[in-house]
Structure 1
Amino acid sequence: MADSGLLKRLGRMLTEDLDEIEDDRIQRECRAPGAQRAVDCVRGDEATMVGELRSVQTCSRSTKAGVSAEFFDGTDTVVLKWMGRNRIPGIEPGRRVTVRGRVAEVDGAKLMYNPYYELHAADE
């Protein structure tokens, strides 16, 4: 029985788009009790989500100082923005995090301003 599951996964890996496989992996690994999926969150929701940071950017101009990160949980992308910060230790691409805050929407993109975050250990 275990062999048939292995063969199914292998067949799927050989025929499916690599982006879809990566999305499925992230989605499976980011399931957590009490966490919402990003795709289900809408503007105004207070949400807790678990996912990975795909990219991190900093802006050091005094009028727009801040850190911006692309958060992905396998279902949708949410932009995280921390205002007034030049750098946040531990906020780096590939890092798994739990974020909590109110979802906003700007030009059709989901955002979370100054979210509370928890960094996950690298081996989780």
Structure 2
Amino acid sequence: MNAQNGSAFMPDEDLMNTILADLKRTVREYTTAATESACPTVRQTFNELTMDTLRLQGDLYTHMSQMNMYTAPSKALRQEVDKQIQCALQTQQKSQQFVQQKTGGNGSYGQAHYPQHQPNQNQNSYYM
């Protein structure tokens, strides 16, 4: 990827930021594909691709952060994050109840059980 004059194609930081942005986009696309898939095997494949891409994105972010190429977002108050998690869990529960109501509880998604989030009181008041 070197230009004819021997200089780099683009600075490493710009190249890594481009790759990072592309990995984020890919995760969104895989997630959409998984949610729109009717075939359990295809859905599982896209779930696995999503998780693999998230791991790769996380590794790249960590590497960039260690090289001071990417600054972490500011800390969030633990109570605000916990509040958002609780809202998401309530929405999820309402959605599950709606699906069970409409399918008579016979749908495979109506039987799913998800772990409940319990705020950890022993940690500091910020998430990183």
TM bin, normalised by shorter chain, reads under 0.3
When Rg is computed on C-alpha atoms for both structures, the one with the higher figure is 2
TM-score by length of 1: 0.21
TM-score by length of 2: 0.21
Structure with the bigger percentage of strand: 1
